[in-house]
Amino acid sequence: MRPNIVSEAGLQTRMGQWWEGIPVLTSSVVVVCGVIYLVCLLVGYDSFAEVCFWPSAVISRFQVYRIFTSILFHGSLLHVLFNMLALVPLGSELERIMGSVRLLYIIALLAISSALFHLLIALLVAHNPFHPSPYFMDECAIGFSGVLFSMIVIETSLSGAQTRSVFGLFNVPATWYALILLVVFQLVMTNVSLLGHLCGILSGFAYTYGLFNVLIPGTSFFSAIESSSYLSTCVRRPKFIMCTGGNGAGYLPTHSNQTVTSSGVLSGNIWENLSSWMPQRENSAQPVADDTRFPGRGRTLTSQTSTGNQDSTLQARLLSGSESPERISAPAAIGGERSLTGRQSAVDTTAGATRPLGQQGSIPSDEKVQKLVAMGFEKTQVEVALAAAEGDLNVAVEILSQQG
C-alpha cells in the first residue's frame, strides 16, 4: 500500500496550504506590514519619527495620521517577523468568529482607543502636580504589538480558559495573562514601549467589558458593506469570512484547533507553536460559546469522530483503489452548527446505510480538480477523493481533511 499522499507533499506545498488557510484580512495585514518594511529597507528609510506615534506631535501639530501609520511600520526584521507570526493565529481565530469586515473595523477601533489611552496617560504623567515627567510625551512608538495585546485580551476572554501558559514555562490566571506578558517583555527585551503595550491591554479590556458596544454597528451594517459591488470580487474569495458566518465560496479549511487554550507564539509550548504554523487538517468539533460581543461565525470544517479502524479502512480503500461492496459515510458539520451546503442529510449511523461503489460512476470534472488543487492538495489525492465523493466538492474536501 502506498504511504499517505498528504505526507508526500513538499515544503512548498505545505507552506501554500498554510498560507491558504489564513483568512483574507489577516493575510492582508501580514502582506502590508511585510511590504512596508521591505520598501523601507530597500530605499534606506529610517525616519520613523515622521510616522511613529509621538504624543507631542499628535497634540501640538494634530498629526492624527500617526495613529494608523505607527501600527504598520516596524523598526527591525525581528520586530515585524515576531509581530506577524503572533498575528497569524490570533487574527485568524478572531476573523473566523467576527468576519473579515467586522474585524477590520474592530482593529481600527482598537488602534484609535489605544492611542487615546496613550495620550491621556502621557498627559497625566507630564502634568501631574506631584512629579511631572515629559518622558511619555516624547516617546516614539511603532509596531503592531499594541493591537496584538488588545487581541490577546479579547481572544483570552472569548476562549473561556481559566489559565494560560506563558511560553510553556508556567501557567498564570487568564485574567492576568496579558499583563504578565507585558512584564515578561519589559524584562527580557530592550527598547520596548511599555505605555504602548499597556494601552493596548486597556483597550482590549474596555472592549471585552462592553464599553465600546455603542460604537460597534449591528450586523446589517457589515452585511451592507459585504454586499457592495466594490467588494464583490473580494467576497467571492474562499478566504473571505462573512460577518454572519461562512464565506463566499463555502470551503475554507481551518488550521486552528479550538481545544488549545494558548494563543500563537505568545503562549503554550514553543515547539508546539512552531509545529502549529504548518497545516493541520484536523479540527475540534467543539463550538465557540455564544457571546453578544462576537455575533459572527467563521465557517470551518470539522469531521465527526470515528474509530481508528474506520479511518484506516477508508484511507486504505481510497489509496489502494480496491473495490468494496460498501462505502463508509462520514457526515460532517460546519462550526458544530450548520450542515455542508448542497450536501445530502447526514446518514443515520444506526441505520448503517451504504451504497455500492458500482453506482458512483461519476468522473471528477477538471474544474473541480483544479479548484481543489488550487487549495494546495495533490492532484492524485484530489482525483481519488472526488471519485469517492461522487463529485461532491464539499465531501471531497472533508475526505482530504481527514487524511491530513
User: Could you give the residue numbers annotated as active site?
Assistant: 145, 197
Q: 3-class DSSP state for residue 128?
A: coil
CA-closest candidate to residue 207, choices 125, 301, 94, 122 = 94
Tracing cell 516617546 back to the chain, one arrives at: 139
* Cα angle, residue 137 at apex, residues 133 and 143 outer, rounded to 5°: 130
- Evaluate the CA torsion angle 78, 80, 86, 92 in order and state its sign: negative
C-alpha cell at 155: 481572544
Helix (H) or strand (E) holding 334: strand 332-334
Tracing cell 518622558 back to the chain, one arrives at: 135
Do 122 and 139 form a contact (C-beta atoms < 8 A)? yes
Do 198 and 182 form a contact (C-beta atoms < 8 A)? yes
Do 75 and 83 form a contact (C-beta atoms < 8 A)? no
Do 311 and 282 form a contact (C-beta atoms < 8 A)? no
CA atoms of 286 and 157, how far apart (whole Å): 17
